[in-house]
Every structure is written in C-alpha cells, then in structure tokens.
Amino acid sequence: MCGQLRIVSLVILLMQPSASFAIEAGEHPYAEPGPTYLRQFAEEGSKVFVLERFDAVGKLVDRSTESVSGEITITGAVERRIAEHVIQLRGLTGCRIRTVTYNRLQTWSCIDAVRDYAGAIYNKRGRVILCKTLVLSSAEGQPILASCFVLVGGNGEPYRTVNDDDSMVFLGFAEIGETPDGRSRRPDLEHAQSLSKTMEFRNAD
C-alpha cells in the first residue's frame, strides 16, 4: 500500500508545473543556459536570435525566434542591435574608463576592445543568440533590458555558451550598477567583477 502511495505521489508531482524542471530545461530568467538548450534553436546555415520573456515570478511567458541575416551591431559595452531589436545588458554600465588592458598585454580604447571581442562572438562565431528579459513588452525603439548568451562551436570545436553579461564585466568593459539605496543590481556578477580587478583588466590609464 505504501508503495502504491509513493507511485501515485510521484505521478502527481510529475504532472504539476515545477520551477525545478524549468531550470533544468534552461528556462530560467537568470541562469546561464547550457549548450544543449541553445542547440535546439540552431538552424543550418543561419544565425538565430531567440528572445525569451519572463514574468515577475520567473515564469516563461513568451518566446520568439527569428533568423538574423545581417550583422549584429555592437554600439557599446552593454548595447547590442540584433535585427530590429535594441538590447541593453541589464544592470550594467559600460566603458566608464577610456582604456583597458586587452588580451592581457595590450592597451586598447574600451569601445574598440568591446567591438573586437563582442563582434567576433556575435558575428563570426555565434550560431544562436538567446536574450532573456523580465520586460513583458517594449515600446518600439526602446532598449530591452536583458541578459544575453551566445552558442559558439561546431565544425570540430566543442559547443559552449558565452555569457555576454559575465564577459563584459570580467574583461573590464562594464561595471555593475547600483540601486538608489546602494545595492548591487547584479549580485550574480560580483565575483566576475572582483576577479577582473584582481587580474588588472581595467584602469589601464
């Protein structure tokens, strides 16, 4: 009898929506998706942009996918134009300093380093671009505050996910913003920012 109750309980649990199952599938407003999750959107011979919108409790409520034929424009450390979408990496401010240490040895202007690095990821290596936002609808021309992830790999190279938010902070191109009361807007990236300062990627002046 106890065994039957356990089986019935398991069946009921599997039938109910669960945040843990969504996280495992990659559908989470904050977590970095794995390459397997991103590869489901890949199309042979084209670059795909996926925009996922989540509500205030973290539930996926809308997903759009489209092929991208032109180049992604890197307009700043935290600004991207993907097709007709203007994306701004959430909670970050970009290029507060004029020059950065790029490739560990070279001194570059911040914006040039951003365009070199992010341009290569988005335009040369990226196959799928996924941006996640808590903004349910956006006015035309207004930036969408989002976290963005790029699937790179294939042709003999292992697939992996590039976390754009983390990369910009780690490389010293962007810094974490603060709320009016002084709290971090991106506590999930505090470690990357601390490591960036330790490795002296920023303040090349």
pLDDT digits (tens, 9 = 90+) for 29-48: 878 999 999 999 999 989 99
Q: What percent of the chain has pLDDT over 90?
A: 63
For residue 14, tell me if it sits in a domain: no
Banded model confidence at residue 112, pLDDT cuts 50, 70, 90: very high
For residue 155, tell me if it sits in a domain: yes
Only one residue has tokens 């407003």, namely: 29
Q: What percent of the chain has pLDDT over 70?
A: 84
Encode 57-85: b = buried (16+ Cβ within 10 Å), e = exposed: eeebeeeeeeebeeebebbbbbbbebeeb
The dihedral built from the CA positions of residue 87, 90, 91 and 96, taken in this order, carries a sign that is negative
CATH number at residue 97: 2.40.50
Contacts of residue 5, defined as CB under 8 A and 6 or more positions apart, other chains included, come to: none
Banded model confidence at residue 62, pLDDT cuts 50, 70, 90: very high
pLDDT digits (tens, 9 = 90+) for 70-102: 999 999 999 999 988 999 999 999 998 899 988
pLDDT over 60 at 124, yes or no: yes
For residue 115, tell me if it sits in a domain: yes
Predicted pLDDT at 201: 67
Q: Hey, is 51 helix, strand or coil?
A: strand
pLDDT digits (tens, 9 = 90+) for 168-178: 999 999 999 99
For residue 84, tell me if it sits in a domain: yes
For residue 122, tell me if it sits in a domain: yes
For residue 126, tell me if it sits in a domain: yes
pLDDT over 80 at 20, yes or no: no
For residue 5, tell me if it sits in a domain: no
Tally the domains of the chain: 1
| Between 117 and 9, residue with greater pLDDT | 117
Banded model confidence at residue 142, pLDDT cuts 50, 70, 90: confident
For residue 112, tell me if it sits in a domain: yes
Average pLDDT, the chain: 85
Predicted pLDDT at 5: 35
- How do beta strands 126-133 and 106-109 pair? unpaired
Q: Which domain holds residue 64?
A: 27-198
Mean pLDDT, range 4-23, rounded to an integer = 36
Predicted pLDDT at 8: 34
Banded model confidence at residue 202, pLDDT cuts 50, 70, 90: low
